[in-house]
Amino acid sequence: MAAMSLRRNRDNRHIRELTREVRLHVEQFIQPLFAVEGLREREAVPGLVDVYRDTSETLLQQIEADLAQGISKFLLFGVPARKQDRDFSHAATSDIIATVRRRFGSDIWLAVDVCLCSHTTHGHCGILNDNRDHVLNDASVSALADAALQFAQAGADCVAPSDMQDGRVAAIRSALDQAGLERRAIMSYAAKFDSAFYGPFRLAAESAPGRDLPLRDRASYQIDPARPGDALLCAERDAAEGADILIVKPGLPYLDVLALLSARIHKPWAVYQTSGEQAGIDLLAEHGLTNPVRAQLESWTAFSRAGASMIISYAARRARRYLAA
Ligand code: PBG
Ligand code: ZN
C-alpha cells in the first residue's frame, strides 16, 4: 500500500477546490446596521473594524457602499434617543425603514430587529414589574408585537424578535396577518444564549442591562449555555408559532447546538456571529496575532458545516474581498 493516500486530495489548489464539501458565497451574508436617532456624526463601534453607529444620512451611504460590495441583505437595529420604560415610540426607526425602502426598493432585503433593550432606561429586553426584579412576559410581548407591526408597515421585509420572551412569535405573526402583512417574514432568535460575547453590541445599541437594578443580567430570559435542550425546545416552539427563519446566537461557542438543531428542524437556519466574537477576531488581527482573512473564513466555514444557510456577520461587507483573497 502506498504511504500516501488521503493526502492526494489535498495536494494542490485545484483538487482542494474540487473536494470541498461546503462553500461560502457572498449571497448568504446578512450585514447588521445601527441607526441611532439624534446622532450628529457617525461613530465607530469599539472593537469592531468598519462597523458604525450611523445617522440617517450615513446609513444610506453605508447601504450604498455595501451594495457595491455585493451585500444586499441587512439586519437593522434602531436606537431611539429617548429612553422610556413603557409606551415606547417606534417612530424614529419606522421613519428610517421607510426612507431606506423608498431609496433602495427591492434591491435590498431588510430585516429589522425587534426588542426593547435599546428603549428602556434599565436596558432589559422587556417591561419590568413594579419591584424591578422581573421582566413581565405578556406585557412585553404585546409591546414587541406592536413594534414589529410598525416596522413591517414602514416597509421591513422581515422582523427579527431578539427579546426571548415566551409567545412573541405567535403574537407577531397574528399582528402581521391581521394587518394584511402576511408576506412579511419572521426571523426568530430562537436559540439565543445568555452570553458574554455581546459586549460591543451593547455599547452600539445602548442596551447594557442592569443599570442600578437588582436584575443585573438576562439569565431569566436568555438560554443558559449549559442547556442545549432548552435551545431545542425554543426552536421547536418558534417554528410551530410560525417563524420562517431560526437563529442560533452566538455562533462559534454554539456550533454543537447549530448542528443539532439544524439536523432536527428543517427550517432555514441562520447563525449570528456576535459582536464579541467579531471583536475577538478583529482585535487578534490588530495585534498581529492572526490573519484576519483566514480567521474569518475559517469561522464562516464552520457555520456552513454546522448547517447554517445564512450568516449574520459584522464582517459581511468584507466577505467578497475575503473570499477572493
Ligand atoms: C438584544 C440583542 C443582543 C444582540 C442582538 N440583539 C444582545 C443582548 O442580548 O444583549 C447581540 C448582538 C451582538 O452581540 O452582536 N436584544
Ligand atoms: Zn433586547
The DSSP result for 35-62, as a single string, is EETT-SS-EEPTT-SS-EEE-HHHHHHH
Residue nearest to atom 11 of ligand 1 (CA): 198
Q: Is the CB of 198 under 6 A from ligand 1?
A: yes
Closest C-alpha to 190, from 113, 263, 253, 269:
269
Residue nearest to atom 8 of ligand 1 (CA): 198
The DSSP result for 217-270, as a single string, is SSTTTSBPTT-HHHHHHHHHHHHHHT-SEEEEESSGGGHHHHHHHHHHS-S-EE
- pLDDT for 2: 65
- pLDDT for 212: 80
Residue nearest to atom 9 of ligand 1 (CA): 198
* Domain residue ranges of the chain, discontinuous segments joined by +: 23-323
Q: How far apart are CA 173 and CA 110, in angstroms?
A: 17
CB within 5 A of ion ligand 2: which residues? 115, 117, 125
Task: Measure 15 CA to ligand 1 centroid, in angstroms.
Answer: 40
Task: Measure 218 CA to ligand 2 centroid, in angstroms.
Answer: 9
**From the CA of 113, which ligand is nearest?**
1
| pTM assigned to the model | 0.98
> Are the CB atoms for 285 and 276 separated by under 8 Å?
no
**Quick one: 285 exposed, middle or buried, by C-beta within 10 A (0-12, 13-18, 19+)?**
middle
Q: Is the CB of 218 under 6 A from ligand 1?
A: yes
Q: Is the CB of 31 under 6 A from ligand 1?
A: no
Q: Is the CB of 274 under 6 A from ligand 1?
A: yes
Test site for ligand 1: of 88, 187, 192, most ligand atoms within 8 A of the Cβ: 192
- For residue 312 the three cell numbers come to 449574520
Q: How far apart are CA 82 and CA 99, in angstroms?
A: 21
Active site residues: 192, 249
Q: Is the CB of 24 under 6 A from ligand 1?
A: no
> Are the CB atoms for 172 and 244 separated by under 8 Å?
no
Q: Is the CB of 195 under 6 A from ligand 1?
A: no
> Are the CB atoms for 194 and 157 separated by under 8 Å?
no
Test site for ligand 1: of 117, 120, 163, most ligand atoms within 8 A of the Cβ: 117
- For residue 60 the three cell numbers come to 444610506
CATH topology of domain 23-323: TIM Barrel (3.20.20)
Local confidence pLDDT in tens for the 325 residues of the chain? 668 899 999 999 999 999 999 999 999 999 999 999 999 999 999 999 999 999 999 999 999 999 999 999 999 999 999 999 999 999 999 999 999 999 999 999 999 999 999 999 999 999 999 999 999 999 999 999 999 999 999 999 999 999 999 999 999 999 999 999 999 999 999 999 999 999 999 999 999 997 788 899 999 999 999 999 999 999 999 999 999 999 999 999 999 999 999 999 999 999 999 999 999 999 999 999 999 999 999 999 999 999 999 999 999 999 999 999 9
> Are the CB atoms for 175 and 231 separated by under 8 Å?
no
Q: How far apart are CA 241 and CA 171, in angstroms?
A: 9
3-state helix, strand, coil in the chain (%, to 5): 45, 20, 40
Q: Is the CB of 125 under 6 A from ligand 1?
A: yes
Task: State how far Cα 176 lies from the chain centre.
Answer: 21
- pLDDT for 210: 78
Give me the residues paired with residue 38 across strands.
none
Q: How far apart are CA 232 and CA 227, in angstroms?
A: 9
Helix ranges restricted to H, 37-162: 56-68, 91-104, 137-154
Task: Measure 204 CA to ligand 2 centroid, in angstroms.
Answer: 12
> Are the CB atoms for 260 and 194 separated by under 8 Å?
no
Q: What is the atom index within ligand 1 of the atom nearest the CA of 209?
A: 10
